Structure 1
Amino acid sequence: MDALLSGASEGASALQTSSRHRCPLLSLSLVFGLLLLPVALMLVEDSPLESVPHRSVSYQSNNTLLFREEGVFDYSSMLLREDLDLLVVGARGEVFALNLTDVTKKISSAKWEVSKQQVSECKRKGKNEETDCKNYIRVLHKREDGRMYVCGTNAFDPECDYMSFSDGKLNLEKKVEDGKGKCPFDPFQRHASIMIENDLYSATSMNFLGSEPVLMRSAPSSIRTEIKSSWLYDPNFVSMAWMPESEQSEDGDDDKVYLFFSETAVEYDCYRKLVVSRVARVCKGDLGGERTLQKRWTSFLKARLDCPIPGYRLPFIIQDSYRWCDSSRHWKDCIFYAVFTPQSEISDISAVCAYRMSDISKVFSEGKYKTPASVETSFIKWVIFSGEVPVPRPGACINNEARKMGINQTLQLPDRTLQFIRDKPLMDQAIEPIEGVPVLSRRGAKFTQIIVNQVQALDGEKYNVMFIGTDQGTLLKAFRYSDGEMIIIEEVQLFSSPQPVKILQFSNKTGQIYAGSDVGVVQISPANCERSSTCKDCVSARDPYCGWDSNKGKCVSLSGSQR
C-alpha cells in the first residue's frame, strides 16, 4: 500500500503546477477520488505522540464538588470574581453567584427569562420552543467599575444588560441594550468575546440567519470586519486574547487583540470545502479609515494556524486556546496552547499544539501577503503577493514610523494602504507550533477545552501542567517532563454521564479548577495527591503537585507540606 500511495503521489504531482495552494488531498485524489479520504486518514495507526493516563478516576471517586439546579441547563459561561470570592456562572435563563471556595454553596442568583411574546415570535420564525427560544447567557465580563456586562441569546433576539453584586445579591439593572454583534442569535453557534477597558470585543454573527459573521468592537467607537468571504468565510469562533504589545515597545506599537477560529479556506483548490484553523489580530487603537474602510478594521490580518499530526493530510481544527504568560518575562515569551480535533468523523485523535507569541507576531509584522488572482474564467486563485507593499505597512498598528509620516491615527492612513488590506487580509505563511509537532496527541474522547497552570516540582523545575476537557466529560491532567516525555497523570470523569466540558477556569486565589457542562458546574483540585495510596504509586505518577511525606506516610500536596 505504501508503494502504491507513493507511486500515485509522484504521478499526480507531475500534473500539478503549484503545491503552495494545492488541496492537501489533491495529488492523491486524482487517483483514488473520493475514496481516498479514509485511506489518508488511516495512515497513522501507532503515533509515537500518543500517551496513556497513569490512572483513570471514576465519577464515584473523583473528589469533586458539584453545583446544579433542578430544571436549569447549559452552565457554559463563567466569570471569576476573585475580588468578591465568587464564581459567576451563566446558564439557560439564569445567572448564579457561587462561593469560590465551595461551589455547592449558592450565594445568589438572578433570573433572565424570555417573555411569552418573545417565545411566540421565536416560534413564528421557525425555531424550537423548548431549545432555541430560551435565553442562553453567553457573554459575561467584569467592567472597570466592578459591575458586570452580561448578554443572552434571548429567543434569537440577543440582548445585553448590566449586573451588580451588592448586599449578597446579584441584580440585573434592566438597562437593556441591543446584543446584535455582541452575542449570538443561535445558542448553539460558536462565539468569542473579551472586555478591555470597558470596550467589548466580540466575534459572532450580526443577523438571525447567522450568515453575517463579524469581529466587532462595540460603542462608543464601534468598528467591525467587512462582510466578505476573504475576511471571514463560514467561521467557527473559538476564543479571544489581549496582548500588551505597547509595553517595552521600541517602535511605539499598540496593544492587540487576537482571535482564534476556524473557517472554510479560500486559498486551496479542492473538490470539497476544506476547513482550516486561523488566528487573526486587530489593533486596540484602530478607529477605521476616513473614506475607505469607514468603521471597519484597518488592522485586521489573519494567518493559518497549523497543528500537523504525522500521517494525517487534512488539517486539524482548533476547538479552544489558552494564553499562558510568565509575569516576570516579556510578552513575546507568552505561549498559546490550543486543542485540535480532526475534521473527519473517521479519525478519533485529538491534539494539543503550543505556539510562541513571538512566532505569531513575526508572521503578521514581517510575513508576505496572499492576493486573489483570476485564473481562466471566473475562478479565483490565491497566490503570494509579489508587488510593492504600501507604506505604512498594511495591517500594522500606528507606530513611531507612521507618526514620523504625520499619521497619528488610522483615520489618516492613505487609501493605498487601506485598499490593500481590504482586499488582502490573509498572510501567506502559516504559524507553526513549537518544535513543529503537537505536545500531546491521543485517541479517544475528543478534546474540547484547555487551561494551563505552572507548578514547581520537588526537582526544582517549573512545569506547565495542562488540564484538558473532553466531549465525554473527562478531565486530562498532562505535562511534559524535563526529558521531553509527555505524561498524562490521570483522566478524571467529572460528571455522572458523558457530556462535553464546555468551559474551564482556574482561580489563582483558590488554586481550584472549575468546569461547566450542560448539567452543572464542577470544582476540582489540580493536585488530589491522596489518590496515590503508596509511596511507589505517588512517585511513579510523577505528579509535579505531589510528593511522598515519609513522616505522615502518605502522598501530599507540595503546596500544603513543609517537607
Structure 2
Amino acid sequence: MALPALGLDPWSLLGLFLFQLLLLLLPTTTTGSSGQDPVPRVKYYAGDGRRVLSLFHQKNLRDFDTLLLSGDGDTLYVGAREAILALNIQDPGVPKLKNMISWPASDRKKSDCVFKRKSNETECFNFIRVLVSFNATHLYACGTFAFSPACTFIEHQNSYLKPILEDKVMEGKGQSPFDPAHKHTAVFVDGMLYSGTMNNFLGSEPILIRTLGPQPVLKTDNFLRWLQRKNLSPTQHRPGPLPPSPGDLAIPSAPISMGPENDVGGEKVLQKKWTTFLKAPLLCAQPGQLPFNVIRHAVLLPVCPGPEMSGVSRAWQISGTRSSAVCAFSLKDINRVFEGKYKALNKETSRWTTHEVPDDISPRPGSCSVSPSSDKALTFMKDHFLMDEQVVGTPLLVKSGVEYTQLAVETAQGLDGHSYLVMYLGTTTGSLHKAVVSRDSRAYLVEEIQLFPDLEPVRNLLLAPTQGALFAGFSGGVVRVPRANCSVYESCVDCVLARDPHCAWDPESGICRLLPASIPKSWRQDMEKGNPEWACVNGPRGRSFRPKSRPQIIKEVLAIPNSILELPCPRLSALASYHWSHGTATVLGASSMVFNGSLLLLLQDGVGGLYQCWATENGFSYPVVSYWVDSQGQPRALDPELAGIPRERVEDSLTMFGGGAALAAQRSYWPHFLTITVLLALVLSGALILLLLSRLGALRARGKVQGCGALPPGEKAPLSREQHLQLPKECRTSASDVDADSNHLGTEVA
C-alpha cells in the first residue's frame, strides 16, 4: 500500500535505495595535486589523437640510437643497428627516407664475437655509437662492430650517403665501446674528436681520448685507477662546448674534468697522455636532502650573458624509489674552481688533504701553456688531479619517481619580451616531459607525452629548431614530436593557464596558436602569472579587473523522472581542483554525489536546472562544463542570466536507470549496485549475528550470581511456584536486591 502513495514503482524504489547506498559507500571528494613535486599539467597516452606524433620505422631495422642533424636542418642522419639512414624532415609528418647504407660487422668478427660467448642474436652486430659531421662532404661514424670497435668516413652529396668501402674501415678502439650496453660519449670540436668510453673487451678500462685533427692522440693515464666503470665523466676542452655525459657518475658529488685543446702530452712524464687532466666535484642538492650524484646527460644552456652547463642527474635509490633532477652549473664557477687549490690523498691515513701550488712550479699544473709543462709540474699533477672546492649547482627541476635519460634545451621568447628556457626530458619508461623554467629559476611541467607503445627508455633526443620539432630515437624507430600543440587548448582560459611560451591566444579567431616570428599585439599570454583574469578580457586589460565567468556553451539534458544521471566533468588540467555547483549554490543537495569527478544525480522534483563543474587553478576558477537538466514532460523555464549562451542538446542518454523503465543502453551500473547490495547484506547479516550472540551471552550472565555454579547433578528445575529450588545459604540474594519484576539489582548476598 505504500508504493502507490509514494508514486514509485518497485524499480524506482530500488533505484532510490541503491542511490542512498552510493552516498554512503563511495568517496565524494575530488581535489587537485598537492605537494612540492611538479606534476605535468596535461598527460597524453600513446596514440592520443590530441597529441599527434609521427613514427618512422624500417622493416628489419632496430636500435635507432644515434641522431645527427645536417647543417641546413633539413636532413636527419640516423645511426641504427648495422645501418645509417638519411631522412628528409622538411615536411611535417612522417620523415621520408632519402637513402640508406648498410654497415654490418664482418662474418669473421661475428664468429669471433660468438666464440667469446656473446649472443649472435642481440650483441654480435655493429651498433652505431658515434655519428658526427666531419666536414661539408663527409661524416665520421664509429660502431661496436661485433665487440671489435671500428670507425670510417662516409661521403655524402646533397645529403645522400655513399656506400662504405671495406678498405676505408679502421680500428675504433677508444672511440666506440666494445659492448653496446656500455656507456659512451663523443663530441667533435675544431676538427678533433673527444670520446669517453671503455677501452677493452671486459669494460674494465675507462678512457677519455682525443683523436683526429692535427694534434697528437692523447688519452688518460693508467694511474687513474679510481676512474672506474661508473665514474666516466664529461671532459671540457677550452674553448669548445661541453660534450654529453657518457653515463653514470658514482663517486660522491659527480665530477667534471677539464683538458685544454693545446695539450700535446709530456716529453718524459705522461707521454701521449693528458697533462692537463683535472677533476672537480659537482654538487647539486636540495637543502637537507642527499645530493644528486649520478649524471645521465649534460648539455650547454643557451642563456645570456654566458653559457651554463645543465645536467640530468639521478640520485641513489632510497626506499625503493628514485628521484631525478636537472641542475644548472655556471661555467664561471667551474673555471674558478679549477683555478683554486688541489687535493691530495694521504696513503698512510687514507684521507684527502688540501695543497697549494708550490712556488717553484710554473706554469700552474693543469693550466693552458704555450710550451710543455716541466716534469716536476706533471709529477705534481699526477698526485693532485682533484680540485679542493666543489662546483655548486642550482636545481632547476626535481622530480620523484622518474628517471630521466636524455635532455634537450632551447629558449623561447614570450609576449612579455623575456626568454624562457624550455627543457625536453626523456625518461626510462618512454615518456617525454616538457618543462619551462620561470624567471625565478623554478621549472614547471607543461605536459607529459608517452612516446612509445611499450615502456622502454628514450635513447636519444635531438631538437630541429627550423622544423619546430623534436626527434626521439628508440629501439623501433624515430618519433617526430611537434614541440608544441597549441590547438589542444580550446579556450583562452586553458591557453593562458598552460603557460607554454610557444602558445598564445588569438582573440580574433578564438584559437590558441603557435607564436609566429612576428606576433600581433592583440594576442594574449601570461607567462609570469598564468592568470586569465586579465589576459582573457575584452578591451583594455588590467590586473585589477576580474571578469565574470560565464559558460561558453550549455549542454541540455532531458532525463527520465526518478532516474539517476551521470554528468561527466572533463579534466583539462592535473593541477586544478574541481567542484560542482547547482545554480547559485556551491553545496549540492542530498540527491546528488560526486564519483570519479562525475556528478551522479537522482532526478526528483526540484533538482533540475543548471549544474556546472568548476576548476580552480592558480587561484582562478572557471566553469569546465555546464549542464541544463530538465525532466521529460516537465521542462524548466530558462534562466534569463543564461540568455545568449549557445546550447547543445545531449542526444546520448546519461540515464543510468529510471522508474519502471529499462536500463540505459549506454552504460549500466546494475552490476556495481547488485555487488554493493550483496556485500551490504552480508555485512548486516554478520552484524545481526554478532548482536544476537552478544545478547544471548548477556542473558546467560544474568541467570547466574557471582560465586554460584550450575545446579547440582541430579536436581531438576521446579515444575511449579510451590516446588521451588532451595538455594544454598551463601548463594541467596537479599530481598532488597530484587525489584517488582524479579530483576536482579545488586550483588549483595544474605
Identify the residue that residue 202 of structure 2 maps to in structure 1. 209
Map of 1:161-560 to 2, 5 A cutoff?
Answer: 161-166=152-157, 169-174=160-165, 175-219=168-212, 221-229=216-224, 232-237=227-232, 243-244=238-239, 260=245, 276-313=253-290, 315-326=292-303, 333-344=306-317, 346-365=320-339, 367-375=340-348, 380-386=350-356, 388=358, 390-398=361-369, 408-410=370-372, 413-434=373-394, 438-483=395-440, 485-559=442-516
Q: Distance in 1 between matches of 2:238 and 2:492?
A: 43
CA distance 1:196–1:153, change in 2 (3 Å): same
Does 1:53 find its partner at 2:26? no
Paired residue type of 1:57? Y
Q: SS of the counterpart of 2:516? A: helix
Q: SS of the counterpart of 1:465? A: strand
Deviation at 1:535, TM superposition (A): 1.4
- Scaled by the length of structure 2, the TM-score of the pair is 0.61
Paired residue type of 1:140? L
Q: Distance in 1 between matches of 2:246 and 2:159?
A: 38
Identify the residue that residue 113 of structure 1 maps to in structure 2. 104
Q: SS of the counterpart of 1:290? A: coil
- Structure number with greater Rg is 2
Q: Distance in 2 between matches of 1:262 and 1:523?
A: 25
Q: Distance in 1 between matches of 2:294 and 2:374?
A: 37
Give a deviation string over 1:279-319, Cα, whole Å, max 9, x none.
11111111001111111111111111112144433643110
CA distance 1:476–1:315, change in 2 (3 Å): closer
Paired residue type of 1:393? R
Q: SS of the counterpart of 1:127? A: coil
Give a deviation string over 1:8-51, Cα, whole Å, max 9, x none.
xxxxxxxxxxxxxxxxxxxxxxxxxxxxxxxxxxxxxx996521
Paired residue type of 1:70? K
Larger RCO, structure (CA 8 Å, separation 6 or more): 1
Paired residue type of 2:460? I
Paired residue type of 1:384? T
Deviation at 1:66, TM superposition (A): 1.1
- Confirm or deny: 8 A CA contact 1:241 1:259 kept in the other structure: no
Does 1:150 find its partner at 2:141? yes
- Scaled by the length of structure 1, the TM-score of the pair is 0.80
Deviation at 1:386, TM superposition (A): 4.6
Q: Distance in 2 between matches of 1:51 and 1:305?
A: 24
Structure 1 unaligned regions, length at least 5: 1-45, 245-254, 266-273, 399-407
Q: Distance in 1 between matches of 2:126 and 2:208?
A: 22
- Confirm or deny: 8 A CA contact 1:78 1:88 kept in the other structure: yes
Q: SS of the counterpart of 2:59? A: coil
Deviation at 1:116, TM superposition (A): 2.6
Deviation at 1:191, TM superposition (A): 0.6
Give a deviation string over 1:186-238, Cα, whole Å, max 9, x none.
11101111112321111112211112211111145111111233562323546
Paired residue type of 1:202? S
Deviation at 1:167, TM superposition (A): 6.0
Paired residue type of 2:181? F
Q: SS of the counterpart of 1:509? A: helix
Count of equivalent residues: 478
Give a deviation string over 1:484-532, Cα, whole Å, max 9, x none.
5532111111111221111111123223211111221111121211121
Deviation at 1:260, TM superposition (A): 4.2
Paired residue type of 2:193? L
Q: Distance in 1 between matches of 2:183 and 2:236?
A: 16
Q: Distance in 1 between matches of 2:242 and 2:512?
A: 43
Identify the residue that residue 567 of structure 2 maps to in structure 1. none
The percentage of counterpart residues that share the same residue type is: 36
Q: SS of the counterpart of 1:305? A: strand
Q: Distance in 2 between matches of 1:532 and 1:486?
A: 21
- Confirm or deny: 8 A CA contact 2:470 2:481 kept in the other structure: yes
CA distance 1:433–1:484, change in 2 (3 Å): closer
Q: Distance in 1 between matches of 2:371 and 2:378?
A: 13
Identify the residue that residue 16 of structure 1 maps to in structure 2. none
1:82 alignment partner, one of 71, 76, 83: 71
Q: Distance in 2 between matches of 1:483 and 1:256?
A: 26
Deviation at 1:276, TM superposition (A): 4.5
Deviation at 1:395, TM superposition (A): 0.6
Identify the residue that residue 4 of structure 1 maps to in structure 2. none
RMSD: 2.4
CA distance 1:143–1:113, change in 2 (3 Å): same
- Confirm or deny: 8 A CA contact 1:256 1:282 kept in the other structure: no
Deviation at 1:475, TM superposition (A): 1.0
Deviation at 1:257, TM superposition (A): 6.0
Q: Distance in 1 between matches of 2:137 and 2:338?
A: 35
- Confirm or deny: 8 A CA contact 2:342 2:384 kept in the other structure: yes
Deviation at 1:241, TM superposition (A): 5.8
Q: Distance in 2 between matches of 1:488 and 1:167?
A: 39
Q: SS of the counterpart of 1:120? A: helix
Paired residue type of 1:536? V
Paired residue type of 1:205? M
Identify the residue that residue 269 of structure 1 maps to in structure 2. none
Deviation at 1:419, TM superposition (A): 0.7
Deviation at 1:418, TM superposition (A): 0.7
